[in-house]
Amino acid sequence: MARDPLAGKLPVTVITGFLGSGKTTLLKHLLTHPGMDRAALVINELGEVGIDHDLLQVSSEQMTLLSNGCLCCTVRTDLQETLRELFAQRRAGAVIDFDRVFVETTGLADPAPVLQTLATDTLLSDYYRLDCVATLVDAVNGMTQLDTQPEAVKQAAVADRLLLTKTDLAAPDAVEALQARLRALNPHALFIIATHGQVDPALLTDVGLRNARPDAARLARWLGETGEGGGYLGQRLAPGVKHDPAIKSFALVFDRPFAWETFSAALDLVSRLRGPDLLRVKGLVNIAGERGPVVVQAVQHIFHPTVTLEAWPSDDRRSRLVFITRNIPRETVEQLFAAVGALNA
């Protein structure tokens, strides 16, 4: 028996959002939520969040164990170092046996560097796996940010969970319009209304694939095929909804298995030429000769190492790929795969 490439790695949830989107409020809430027992929360600055002394169990310069069992840790040099050290401390029994990690993005809150770190640092990837990207969108300013800040669009596009904050401060129709726009931008994400940061942390974890033996339901959920994204809203894009014409979200289905060379060459090509516009790719691919589907995940040019699942969960063995792109139409990607396939035939 060999090791499962996904099992046994601590899931990491990345929390991102624009300045003012309510991250600090959310973090404060998480620090007291009973559902954060045995979670590690990596934040940028403790002072900003402000921890009530009544909640402290044990504290040091950099780590604080809170009364709800959550280990709060501040980033010292960089995230890599922090996560590595955090695991070393866990292994030595110097901190609690945390079983999941929440990471706040830094600076401009671009999640891509954090995702890159998790995808490419081989030491870290022995212990951690990216599980969920949770993006906060402020209901008051979100629409303007989406209009003026390409970064805001990207953050929404890469999210598994879209947390709408300050909905109590915005007009109901503005909230609806924002939701509709986000839905068009990223139909696969689950919407969560997070007034005053009130979110059940369970909704922000256990999103990705936990092992290479997922059942059909989990795979479908992971691919966004179950309509989970419509959980809160459940509505389709209505006429007149403001949308982002540059952002394309589409799913491709391929009936025939790929040769690995064809598939990787096509994806490599689009990533090299248009990496920054490849906001998010995920899917299950039928590669000839593999025992199960190959899991593909990418954010922009950052591709996670591919993983072959143990078996197909159902008779449907078609390759399914979900894309969110900027100015790359569906037809272009379809034709690219066809052309590379033809060249490699």
Partner 1 sequence: MTKLAAPGPAARPEQTLAWNMTLLAHHELAGFGGLGEGMAMQQTRDGRRILWLAHESAPKNFTGVDVTDPRNPKVVVQTDLPHAKMRSNSLDVVGDVMAVAYQTSGVNIQPAGFDLFDVSVPESPKRISHFDASGPHSRGVHAVWFVDGETVHLAGGAADFEPTNPKDDQFYRIVDVRKPSQPEEVGRWWYPGTRKGDDAPPPKRLPPQFDMGYRAHNTNVFPQRPDRAYVGYIDGGAWVLDISDRSRPKPVASWQYSPPFNGFTHTVLPLFSRDLLIVSDECVLDDGADWPKLVWVLDNRVETNPVPIGTFPAPPYDAFAKRGGRFGAHNLHENLPVPTSWRSDSIIVGTFFNAGVRAYDVSDPFQVKEVAYFVPGAPKLSPVGAIQLNDCFVDDRGLVFTVDRFVGGLYILEMNV
Q: Which residues bind partner 1 (CB under 8 A)?
A: 1-4, 7-8, 57-63, 65, 76, 82, 85, 88-97, 126, 211
CB of 24 to partner 1, least distance (A): 23
Cβ of residue 54: shortest distance to partner 1, in angstroms?
Answer: 18
Spell out the residues 6+ positions from residue 275 whose beta carbon is closer than 8 angstroms to its own.
300, 301
DSSP SS3 for 42: strand
**What is the DSSP code (8-state) at residue 149?**
-
Nearer to partner 1, 291 or 317 (CB): 291
Scan for tokens 């025939």, then name that residue: 256
Helical H runs in 215-329? 216-222, 260-274
Q: Which is nearer to partner 1, 24 or 62 (CB)?
A: 62
Task: Report the nearest approach of partner 1 to the CB of residue 67 (Å).
Answer: 12
Task: CB nearer to partner 1: give 4 or 110.
Answer: 4
First-to-final CA distance of the chain? 35
3-state SS string over 62-125? Answer: CEEEECCCCEEEECCCCHHHHHHHHHHHHHCCCCCCCCEEEEECCCCCCCHHHHHHHHHCHHHH
Shortest gap between Cβ of 85 and partner 1 (angstroms)?
Answer: 4
Q: Which is nearer to partner 1, 118 or 321 (CB)?
A: 118
Nearest by Cα to 117 from 85, 79, 145, 146: 79
CB nearer to partner 1: pick between 4 and 290: 4
Q: For the beta carbon of residue 315, count every other beta carbon within 10 angstroms.
A: 6
Nearest distance from residue 3's CB to partner 1, in Å? 5
Tokens of 124: 């870290």
Least CB distance from residue 84 to partner 1, whole Å? 10
Judged by beta carbon, residue 6 or residue 251, the one nearer partner 1 is 6
